[in-house]
Amino acid sequence: MNYTVSTYRPLYLALLLVLCGLFGSAAVSTQPAPVPWEPWAAHDPGQLDDDGTGAVFAMSEADGRPALEITPGGASEETKLAFPFSGGDLQAWANAAALQMDVYLPEANTLNPDGFFLGLAATTPQWAWVDGTFGAPDGGSGWATVTFPLSDALRSADPNGAYTLYLSFFEQASKTPLTQPFYVGEISLMGVETSPGAADYAQEAAALLELDDAALIDTVARQTFDYFWLEANLDNGLIPDRSTAASPASIAAVGFGLAALPIGVERGWITADEGRERATVTLNTFLSGGVQGERGFYYHFVDMQTGERMWGSELSSIDTALLAAGALVAGQYFGGEVQLAANALSEHIEWDWMTDGGEFVTMGWTPEGGFLGAQWDHFDESQILYALALGSPTHPLPASAWQNWRRPLRSDDESIYLPGDPLFVYQYPQAFLNLRGLEDAFANYWNNTVRACERHAAYIEDNADVFATYGHGAWGLSASDGPGGYRAYGATDVNNDGTLAPYASAACLPFTPDIALESLRALLRTYGERVWREYGFVSAVNEDAGWYSRDHIGIDQGDILLMLANAQDGLVWELFMSHPSIQAALNAMGFVASSGDYAVTPAYWAARMGE
């Protein structure tokens, strides 16, 4: 039976919970109205500080509404205010997705702020920066609303601590100093959780542990799929970078979302018509200029509604590669117009231009600074980028780029690795490329990933006495959120702090199924609702810091979903590998059949060891 997704909580999981006797009915989410943040309204304006910008503050009215009048000093590029709050004042942020700030921008002003930043610093036991977030107004002059997405760090204030909230206002294009008054009204909390809650997630986690392995994998995949299906903008197909209000779209997340559509159809979660329509809308958005880009590349982060560049991000070569990979998967599955559109998107990418005249693809380009200095010149996730670039029928790169790609060696397990050793660099390329039974002149990359997964699991076990999060059978170190912000964690002594990323072990399922499943069960058993939420596993947990992410990150979700599908029946691999350009790329890269159990080919190992 095919179920069309129509509720926020999957029907499949609701039925599971009923059968387990743990949950009576599907909990349907509502979008609650913004809730006023009372400490802002109750705070004494006399405690405001201008943070050295010369701004003057006074209580006033704007268009008949009470507001804080801010008169810029006129000499600084940014007009700032600093407001002290207690940790208790900030506890309401813990269950919110974003802050919503009402601003009044007088039409008579010659220049109003169009850039807004919110930051938080702890002031006890000493001053320390917590995190910050940018916002943009939803209108022009008059009353407008600025939405600031709240990161996990911003939502994790110590109730016994003291903090300073910083607000910064500026004109983005030229940073011309502001001189005329504008107004700040109410600050509200958006997306405050009402249903489902922690108890529901705890029940779901407990129910999952009652399933056999096949049902567990299917249910995790089902819930993960909903991120791409329910969070997408239906008008343009764009998918948010993370599950927070006002998150920009990530073009890499869109790529994973396109690859998710065949999975949803094959599993009966959506109909073929629904999947085809979503793919068509998404691809047409990019091909029609609905997403800002140049020469076939697109900006890393774009506005969910307009597709315009966000946060000063770069034209990202790797994120464009992941977008194109997902497009080719969808195209191969749906055929027809979707296939034509997917091929067109891939063929428009000018890989030769992105080399900046060199041998390797640069990491990106910005209109302000041109090509970025960093290149994709060594082992990492760019394996998928070179597969697309060497196989391109329109702008191919020569095979020498792949041949000269540096491959650092580990002597302890005779493998190729990236110093720092985050797991995602092994996984993202092979979420699309099926390299089982293949090798080039340098490595059997399938076996190499097997060794990486095993190495990470062993590292966690060996360090279970160092960090409370480690052990219990759970493992997984990769790029993720953490107590101090986003970081590329890895299996090295200087590159971890007790933070585990569930997606890292989940995406090892095709390579090391036993220990990957053990990790998923251990995470659910040990952390329950702290690791399992509306779209499955959260970004990360850290028991040592008492920190547990509330966010789902699009590229993490994609890594989980695609790898679970590949472990089940190889669906994404089959579709991607069937594309003629990928077969051409594998030939150009020198891949041949392999039956060895080595990660590094004997010839390459001998050559490197003899250097």
End-to-end CA distance of the chain: 61
Contact 81, 49 (CB under 8 A): yes
Rounded CA separation 85/163 (Å): 5
- pTM for the model: 0.79
**Of 315, 283, 312, 317, which Cα lies nearest the Cα of 299?**
315
Structure token digits, residue 300: 């890393």
> What pLDDT is attached to residue 401?
98
Write down the pLDDT at residue 193. 54
Task: Measure the CA–CA gap between 348 and 502, rounded to whole angstroms.
Answer: 35
With 0-12 / 13-18 / 19 or more C-beta atoms within 10 angstroms meaning exposed / middle / buried, residue 497 is middle
Helices (H), 407-444: 424-432
Which pLDDT value is given to residue 26?
Answer: 34
Mean model confidence pLDDT for the chain: 91
At residue 145, the pLDDT reads 92
pLDDT of 16: 55
Q: Which domains does the chain have, with CATH numbers?
A: 35-190 (2.60.120.430), 211-593 (1.50.10.140)
Structure tokens at 9: 């909580």
Phi, psi of 69 (to 5 degrees): -80, 130
Place of tokens 């052990």: 471
CA separation for the pair 127, 121 (Å, rounded): 7
pLDDT of residue 220: 97
The residue-averaged pLDDT of 280-303 equals: 98
Look-up: residue for tokens 């903090």? Answer: 163
Share of the chain above pLDDT 70, in %: 93
In the chain, the amino acid numbered 523 is L
Scanning 335-420, the segments in alpha helix (DSSP H) are 336-347, 383-391, 400-403
Helices 213-230 and 198-208 pack at an angle, to 10 degrees, of 140
Output the pLDDT for position 87. 84
Sign of CA dihedral 320, 323, 325, 331: negative
Please give the biggest Cα pair distance in the chain.
80
Confidence category of residue 32, pLDDT binned at 50, 70, 90: low
**What pLDDT shows up at residue 13?**
52
pLDDT tens-digit series, residues 208-262: 999 999 999 999 999 999 999 999 999 999 999 999 877 899 999 999 999 999 9
CB 20 within 8 A of CB 207: yes
Q: Which of 239, 235, 292 is nearest to 261 (CA)?
A: 239
Angle among Cα 456, 552, 186 to the nearest 5 degrees reads: 140
Residue 323: closest CA among 308, 305, 306, 302: 302
Q: Which of 427, 421, 384, 420 is nearest to 402 (CA)?
A: 384
What is the predicted pLDDT for the residue at 28? 34
Burial call 117-151: b when 16+ CB within 10 Å, e when fewer: bbbbbbeeeeeeebbbbbbbbeeeeebbbbbbbbb
Confidence check: pLDDT of 12 > 80: no
Query: In the predicted model, is pLDDT for residue 194 greater than 60?
Result: no
Question: In the structure, what pLDDT confidence band is assigned to residue 38 with cuts at 50, 70 and 90?
Answer: confident
- How many helices and strands (H and E) does the chain possess? 18, 27
Position 268 scores a pLDDT of 96
> Comparing C-alpha atoms, which of 180, 278, 186 is closest to residue 236?
278
Pairing verdict, β 115-122 and 249-250: unpaired
Asked if 510 and 562 count as a contact pair (C-beta separation under 8 A), the reply is no
Q: Of 9-13, 18-22, 348-352, 410-414, where does the model show the most confidence? A: 348-352
- CA–CA separation, 57 and 48 (whole Å): 8
SS3 389: helix
Give the residue, 237 or 162, on which the prediction is more confident: 237
Cα(267)–Cα(286) distance, rounded to whole angstroms?
Answer: 27
Which residues touch 119 (CB under 8 Å, ≥6 apart)?
129, 130, 131, 132, 133, 165, 166, 168
**Both tokens assigned to 214:** 């096949």
Helix (H, G, I), strand (E, B) or coil at 144: strand
What sign has the CA pseudo-torsion 578, 580, 586, 591?
positive
Angle 130-456-573 from CA coordinates, rounded to 5°? 100
> Average pLDDT, stretch 451-471?
95
